[in-house]
Structure 1
Amino acid sequence: SQVPSTPSPKSGSKKLASPFRCLSLKKMEEPGEETEHLQKPETDPSHDIETAYVAQICLTWEALHCQYTQLSQQISCQPENPTCCNHSAQQLQQFQVLLQRFIENEPFEQGLRSEIYARARNVFPKLLQAPNIQGSGQKGKEQGEEESDFVVLVSDLIKILESTMLVFRIFLKMDKTKSSGVLNLFGNHSQNATPLHQIQCSLEKKEMRLKELHKRSKGGKKKSWPQTWDGIQLLFGIIDIKVMSRVLKMARVTKEQLFWCEEKMKKLDLSDGKLKRDPSPILFPC
């Protein structure tokens, strides 16, 4: 029988520019022994529940971020925007209350975070579903809103959204899910050589650098909204990291989801000592 050749120490010491370069295209197209479990994972209902939960987190964050960007642009273009947002404010506050209630009740629930979420979602279907923020386009009654003397303007609505995003950050922070044995999906004897482990290491380094920048910034208080644009971008970057970190903790991670994490990380550029963040969204692959 043919004995496989042993790679030289020189070739094994080369650094990989991208974690995925250690997976050859041939292996990705024709799964071998090392990637067989990654390509065809065993069916487990708990894995499906976790994937649905994590996918909802990713979608919710993209929606909240997109809505914040849109509201910021509206205020920038028209500071005295007369648009009535009463109904949107009510929906956003309901979204925030459901998140807060989940955070408060979770310590008394049994099971994993994803399982607790699934049970809570049956009772509260709108849990973790970011509302679609819309205005009437004029000062007055918004669609679906009853008559009221109090009018919520765009400038008021963005404050509610900021508060909601801070609660969402706490929601992510309170997810105590630990990293699973997903590293073994790649079949490598050395876990340090897996693409997943390399992405996790890169993510941890970026998280540490972002936290350092956030602490040094004037708007570095965790419980308050940053007062500068750079501070806001740092906060968004930290939430990006939290979302990616939760993806990597899943019990079953596909190659497409790892690629998603790698692409998301590329959008957080810290090369010159400050954050340059690309806000364009990338849909999470289920």
Structure 2
Amino acid sequence: LETAYVGHVCLTWEALHSQYTQLGQKISCNPENPTCYNQCAQQYQQFQVLLQRFIENEPFEQGTRVEKYARSRNSFSKLLQVPNVQGTCSNAMEDEESDYRVLAPDLLKLVEASILTFYAFLRMDKKKAGGVRNLFGSQNQMATPLQQVQSVAEKKVLKLKELRKKKSFKKRSWPGTHDEVELLFSLMDAKVVSRVLRMAKITKEQLLWCEDKLRKLHLTDGRFQRDPSPILFPC
């Protein structure tokens, strides 16, 4: 159950990042594009509402995060399901006689809001004391590689948090510069990796995935560089 949850979290982040990037590229290439995204906007609003509802209800529900997620998915199948960005031509919208048109820049704002809500979701998935970690399905076997990756992850998280403080980074509002956006995405990458490393059972392939993700975050002399290319999580 935990593997399914963590896999879905990883996939959701990759999908959100991909949709944000693709939409941003479309806007850059054609700022005056008349394509309308009304239906897609509704889907992103639903994505955000379901996620926000989960965040608000979680403190009052019993069980672990994974158990709460499983119950919520049974009730709301679209929880953490990222909409695919698809638009319709302006002529089609005229036929529907819509009073309001959602253009690409408007949709981008909704995607940004969804990313911030997902970041809040990640931050609330906190470490529980007393958990037993198994690597490759065994309690003591090959503990050293896991500890090494955890150490690298913790160091990078600390450096990213230091950079966040220097930039007066606000968690609940969208960053104002490209560098700050990349810092936000790096923090989210690190959060996702940290969650994978907290799994009760982690396979060799999943540990290698964590290593690959961490290698894409380069932090030296107070500067950072992030490789945005996606890596699918091995469930």
TM-score interval for Structure 1 and Structure 2 normalised by the shorter chain: over 0.9
Cα deviation for residue 169 of structure 1 reads 0.3
CA distance in 1, matches of 2:173, 2:212: 29
In the alignment, structure 2 segments of 5+ residues that lack a partner are none
User: Quick check: 1:112–1:177 contact (8 Å CA) kept in 2?
Assistant: no
CA distance in 1, matches of 2:75, 2:102: 29
- 2:201 is the counterpart of 1:248: no
- 2:233 is the counterpart of 1:281: no
TM-score in terms of structure 2 length = 0.93
Counterpart of 1:280 in 2: which secondary structure? coil
| 1:139 equivalent in structure 2 | 90
| 1:222 equivalent in structure 2 | 171
Cα deviation for residue 177 of structure 1 reads 3.8
TM-score in terms of structure 1 length = 0.77
1:94-105 to 2 correspondence within 5 Å?
A: 94-105=46-57
Calculate the aligned-residue CA RMSD, in Å: 1.8
Cα deviation for residue 281 of structure 1 reads 0.4
- 2:35 is the counterpart of 1:86: no
Query: Is 233-242 or 267-276 further displaced after alignment?
Result: 267-276
Counterpart of 1:270 in 2: which secondary structure? strand
User: Quick check: 1:178–1:249 contact (8 Å CA) kept in 2?
Assistant: no
1:202-217 to 2 correspondence within 5 Å?
A: 202-217=152-167
CA distance in 1, matches of 2:145, 2:155: 15
Task: Among all aligned residue pairs of Structure 1 and Structure 2, give the percentage whose two residues are the same amino acid.
Answer: 61
1:37-76 to 2 correspondence within 5 Å?
A: 49-76=1-28
| 1:28 equivalent in structure 2 | none
CA distance in 2, matches of 1:124, 1:217: 37
CA distance in 2, matches of 1:130, 1:102: 15
- 2:140 is the counterpart of 1:187: yes
Cα deviation for residue 133 of structure 1 reads 1.2
Compare CA radii of gyration and give the structure with the larger one.
1
User: Could you give the per-residue CA deviations for residues 44-96 of structure 1, whole angstroms, max 9, x where no partner exists?
Assistant: xxxxx110000000000000000000011111111122110000100000000
Q: How many matched pairs?
A: 231
User: Quick check: 1:60–1:130 contact (8 Å CA) kept in 2?
Assistant: yes
User: Quick check: 2:19–2:85 contact (8 Å CA) kept in 1?
Assistant: yes
Change (3 A) 1:140 1:108: farther
User: Quick check: 1:140–1:151 contact (8 Å CA) kept in 2?
Assistant: no
Cα deviation for residue 181 of structure 1 reads 1.6
Change (3 A) 1:147 1:55: farther
CA distance in 2, matches of 1:130, 1:284: 16
User: Could you give the per-residue CA deviations for residues 83-140 of structure 1, whole angstroms, max 9, x where no partner exists?
Assistant: 100001000000000000001111111111111111110110000111111111x225
Task: Letter of the 1:227 partner, please give it.
Answer: G
User: Quick check: 1:215–1:221 contact (8 Å CA) kept in 2?
Assistant: no
User: Could you give the per-residue CA deviations for residues 146-190 of structure 1, whole angstroms, max 9, x where no partner exists?
Assistant: 64210000000000110110000000111124273215736269x
| 1:267 equivalent in structure 2 | 216
Change (3 A) 1:146 1:153: same
Counterpart of 1:275 in 2: which secondary structure? strand
CA distance in 2, matches of 1:105, 1:73: 36
User: Quick check: 1:113–1:177 contact (8 Å CA) kept in 2?
Assistant: no
CA distance in 2, matches of 1:250, 1:90: 34
Counterpart of 2:220 in 1: which secondary structure? coil
1:169 equivalent among 110, 113, 119 = 119
- 2:188 is the counterpart of 1:239: yes
CA distance in 2, matches of 1:230, 1:51: 32
User: Quick check: 1:84–1:152 contact (8 Å CA) kept in 2?
Assistant: yes
User: Quick check: 2:132–2:200 contact (8 Å CA) kept in 1?
Assistant: yes
Counterpart of 1:276 in 2: which secondary structure? strand
| 2:74 equivalent in structure 1 | 122
